[in-house]
Structure 1
Amino acid sequence: MKIAAIGGGVIGGGWIARFILSGHDVTVHDPHPEAGRIIGEVLENAGRAWQNLFQAPLPEPGKIIWAKDIAEAVSGADFIQESVPERLDLKHRIFAEIEAAAPERAIIGSSTSGFKPSELREGAKHPERILVAHPFNPVYLLPVVEIVGGGEAAERACTLLASVGMKPVQIAREIDAHIGDRLLEAVWREALWLVKDGIATTEEIDDIIRHGFGLRWAQMGLFETYRIAGGEAGMRHFLGQFGPALKWPWTKLMDVPDLDDALIDRIASQSDAQSGAHSIRELERIRDDNLVGMFQALKANDWGAGRSIREMEDRFYAREVKQPESYPLRLHQARVHGGWVDYNGHMTEFRYLQVLGDATDAFLIHIGLDADYRAGGCSAYTVETHIRHLAEVKAGELLSVETRLLGHDEKRFRLHHDILRADGSVVATGEHMLLHVDGDAGRSTAMPETLLAGLRRIAELDDAPHPDHAGAGIRQVHHKEAAS
């Protein structure tokens, strides 16, 4: 899959970072004299955020390939993301240059926040392959992307974008500004009036959003939030009770305050007082850290944007192992958060088991025992565990886990994990015996050939002696038992 990016500003740079961190090379054209620096800084922040976000070891990053012009950038490309300024004449000129050099089946996605596909496609040779692919900043973290344009190209675009962790939402009918920006525009208009009329400052408005309904929106959106507000009677009751208020003269939604010099000065000075102590890059890192924390909470509940993160992480766990250098397997990593440490400032005992358990889950996904498999009623249960605590771990440390398969038969398998610091030293080891079970029947059962094949593939990688301590706490299962 060859990917090209035309434009590397705030949005374009975010797209480039998402593709590269997902393992894709990206050919980039941006005439800005400082494009290299700007995109490099975005990539640095994005890489930092992904290291904190995902527990699975990340794929080898792709590379940026700089192109001197658009023709060189899109030559042979399968997917092209355009992120140039919001001027329709400029976009038409860019599309004409793309179509003159790109393969006929190449998909062209536009990051436009306002133009409709019908407007973008004017004068195009192959209009059906030009789509709106509108993301939200930061593109390397926020999963949603609005896809407008329909057809076979839209389906292919959705498949590709889902593979890099996006949540494509296909919009059935085109409309100016799509969906997300129309909702944001409504809130923005009201906020401008509140500042202009002296009712609230920029900080007070932001506090009400980020300490109030913004938290609800982040994990339930608008309609699900109001469904709960309706109580046990649900949405119908909410609409009946609060619907009449929509006719009250609360809003100035259709009016826009004049952004004269006085209002611009007021907003800018209030914003400086609110956030001027931080540089833009510092604010981006603060934003990213907050988003990562929210995503991890949502992932734990398999909810909202957390589901997109989990699905991406599962793809990292399930990817093929390169032979022979990638054995023992490194499928899991974890950052020690402040809540993981005890009164001594060290990682508390049960968190070692959590890291080991998460590493076991990563192994299960890797061999094919994933959510789809478990939906059939079968799973693997841990029936015995032995942990050795070897070193203290402090908050903030990044841990990785090396996993070996010590043995298996048709119903059981035995795993060994080393928990490692960044310097490679071992802080703990864990052995785990797992039993394949039919949850519906409540009994153990033989694994299907798909799982056994995955175990055999991994067993063939292991040509080193088992650790001296292996088996001290768990009854041994040897590879030869697979034949018994």
Structure 2
Amino acid sequence: MSVAAIIGGGVIGGGWAARFLLNGWDVRVFDPDPEAERKVGEVLDNARRSLPGLSDAAMPQEGRLSFHRSMADTVKGADWIQESVPERLDIKHKVLAELQGACDESAVIGSSTSGFKPSELQQGAVRPAQIMVCHPFNPVYLLPLIEVVTTPENDTGIVEKAKALLTSVGLYPLHLRKEIDAHVADRFLEAVWREALWLVKDGIATTEEIDNAIRYGFGIRWAQMGLFETYRVAGGEAGMKHFMAQFGPALKWPWTKLMDVPEFTDELVDLIAGQSDEQSGAHSIRELERIRDNNLVSMMRALKAQDYGAGALLNAHDAVLLQDSPVPATLEQITDYAVPLVMLAQAVPIDWLDYNGHMNEARYLEAFSRATDHFMKLIGCDADYIANGGSFFTAETHIRHLGEAAPGARIEVTTRVISGEGKKMHLWHEMTHEGAVLATGEQILLHVSLETRKPAPMPDAMQAILARMVAGQADMSPPDGLGRAIGAPR
């Protein structure tokens, strides 16, 4: 079991704790704040509700969380140490020295700093090679970007180890080999922030209007393509060179005030704070966090369907998670046909919820359909088989809704073969959460020729596989509810 030590349990530290914990790591937290356990606990509540739903595979069992009274106890034997203390260099130097006095020499020490370069953190360190910047973005448990900033003091071995560990928990390490103030992403944010302050100060736009300009326009484009690819598309068929030629001269026009910062007077602070309260004051911070998480999960899951941007990253992580999934990837991995076969294992994502706060009835069908799709692949009806003209069409589906599925709940769908010969396959699915049956799904599928769009006999090899499954499950009792119609006696 890997161990992560989190030094500082604020918003960022709590997010790091959630990211590691929900990916199966044991997590130790040190924070002298007497409210640290409550604050970290609230961050974890949000993470448990949202992070597992990004994956279409079962995440590992949650690790163990513990709080410690000394940094030495926290970091002893830890594989990863994440420092998220206040942005004062003297405090960071003191903390890093204490950490290095107690931790293993092989441990990675990452700093969440956005304001200091790694060379500044390494000053006076016993083992400077061990220390690097690992700057995250809030919420750490959802957003994958981590800016890994190193110096020549960091040897290749520990840098590659750090990148591999971050990748293993679904993060994207952007390795900056040349340090610069504020790293990369925050430099963009600062440019937008400066211009936004001027627009408010000069009475051009309110805080809400500026946010609307971002979230209804270029912010959506940036979320899936970034900056340069967005502009490449804007260049049309002629591409990036045309865009640069067309819009490059505009950079000489005095549009922005990026080289000038408005003075933070009491009047400007009050103006911005007042507009912000009017814009968002109807929601508490916890409510805003949940709104943010709902939106992020829904957007990133949409990008998964397109296998683009952050969605492609999530799909790659799913492939890793599936290696340890109870769902068999091939027929050869099934060693016992005398039990129902696990065809789906994942958490309930936020975008599967309805207005009652539990899984929408259409998503039960989606889960059962995905289980059927995976079962079809196992028996030989994969993409190549379909491309060659054979497939299954669903003729009938009967779903019984027996229990609620809450966001983040880990569900499994098991499948039994009731019959499978000739042109027809009869499947029985059960969806469970922690042993309780949430729903059953009964499906009749017809094997078809895609050329004629009519039922056709299954190949002998496919029928033989189904016959083995039916025979293996012959001693099991018939499923409760098999063949039951609406209104039938219970």
TM range, smaller chain: 0.7 to 0.9
The alpha-carbon deviation at position 357 of structure 1 amounts to: 3.5
Q: Following superposition of structure 1 onto structure 2, how do residues 8-19 of structure 1 map, counting pairs within 5 Å?
A: 8-19=9-20
Change over 3 Å in CA distance of 1:361–1:166 after alignment to 2: farther
Please point out which of 306, 314, 317 is paired with 2:311. 306
Distance across 2 between alignment mates of 1:125 and 1:378: 61
- 1:237 corresponds to which residue? 242
Q: Structure 1 residue 40 and structure 2 residue 41: aligned?
A: yes
Higher relative contact order (CA 8 A, sep 6+): 2
- 2:430 corresponds to which residue? 418
- 1:285 corresponds to which residue? 290
| Amino acid across the alignment from 2:437 | G
Whether the 8 Å contact between 1:380 and 1:434 is mirrored in structure 2 is no
Distance across 2 between alignment mates of 1:357 and 1:379: 22
Whether the 8 Å contact between 2:401 and 2:439 is mirrored in structure 1 is no
Please point out which of 442, 450, 459 is paired with 1:429. 442
Please point out which of 202, 213, 232 is paired with 1:227. 232
- 2:398 corresponds to which residue? 389
Q: Following superposition of structure 1 onto structure 2, how do residues 375-386 of structure 1 map, counting pairs within 5 Å?
A: 383=392
The alpha-carbon deviation at position 116 of structure 1 amounts to: 1.2
Whether the 8 Å contact between 1:78 and 1:105 is mirrored in structure 2 is yes
The alpha-carbon deviation at position 316 of structure 1 amounts to: 3.2
Q: Following superposition of structure 1 onto structure 2, how do residues 146-295 of structure 1 map, counting pairs within 5 Å?
A: 146-149=147-150, 151-295=156-300
Change over 3 Å in CA distance of 1:432–1:105 after alignment to 2: farther
Q: Following superposition of structure 1 onto structure 2, how do residues 425-464 of structure 1 map, counting pairs within 5 Å?
A: 425-430=438-443
Whether the 8 Å contact between 2:428 and 2:442 is mirrored in structure 1 is yes
The alpha-carbon deviation at position 446 of structure 1 amounts to: 9.4
Change over 3 Å in CA distance of 1:110–1:232 after alignment to 2: same
- Residues 340-376 of structure 1: CA distance to partner in whole angstroms, max 9, x if unpaired? 99xxx9845xx665323323566799x9x9xxx999x
| Amino acid across the alignment from 2:345 | L
Distance across 1 between alignment mates of 2:350 and 2:137: 29
Distance across 1 between alignment mates of 2:89 and 2:428: 59
Please point out which of 327, 333, 345 is paired with 1:331. 345
Whether the 8 Å contact between 1:148 and 1:171 is mirrored in structure 2 is yes
Whether the 8 Å contact between 1:332 and 1:362 is mirrored in structure 2 is no
Change over 3 Å in CA distance of 1:101–1:335 after alignment to 2: closer
Q: Structure 1 residue 358 and structure 2 residue 370: aligned?
A: yes
* Structure 2, gaps ≥5 residues long: 328-334, 449-458, 484-490
| Amino acid across the alignment from 1:429 | E
- Residues 136-184 of structure 1: CA distance to partner in whole angstroms, max 9, x if unpaired? 0000000111111162212111111111111111112111111000010
- Residues 27-53 of structure 1: CA distance to partner in whole angstroms, max 9, x if unpaired? 111111110110000000111112543
TM-score, normalised via structure 1 length = 0.79
Percentage of identical aligned residues: 50
SS in 2 for 1:101: coil
- 1:125 corresponds to which residue? 126
The alpha-carbon deviation at position 59 of structure 1 amounts to: 2.6
Change over 3 Å in CA distance of 1:277–1:261 after alignment to 2: same
- Residues 84-116 of structure 1: CA distance to partner in whole angstroms, max 9, x if unpaired? 111111111111111111111111111111211
The alpha-carbon deviation at position 60 of structure 1 amounts to: 1.9
Q: Tell me how many residue pairs correspond in the alignment.
A: 441
- 1:30 corresponds to which residue? 31
- Residues 390-411 of structure 1: CA distance to partner in whole angstroms, max 9, x if unpaired? 3359998669442247599xxx
Distance across 2 between alignment mates of 1:181 and 1:445: 61
**Structure 1 residues 6-15 or 354-363, which shifts more?**
354-363
* Structure 1, gaps ≥5 residues long: 436-443, 473-484
Q: Structure 1 residue 402 and structure 2 residue 413: aligned?
A: yes
SS in 2 for 1:424: strand
SS in 2 for 1:145: strand
Distance across 1 between alignment mates of 2:446 and 2:170: 33
Distance across 1 between alignment mates of 2:350 and 2:261: 48
Whether the 8 Å contact between 1:6 and 1:12 is mirrored in structure 2 is yes
Change over 3 Å in CA distance of 1:131–1:162 after alignment to 2: same
- Residues 270-318 of structure 1: CA distance to partner in whole angstroms, max 9, x if unpaired? 1111111111000000000011110111011011111222233333333
Distance across 1 between alignment mates of 2:279 and 2:269: 15
Whether the 8 Å contact between 1:111 and 1:132 is mirrored in structure 2 is yes
SS in 1 for 2:19: helix
CA-based RMSD of the aligned residues comes to 4.1
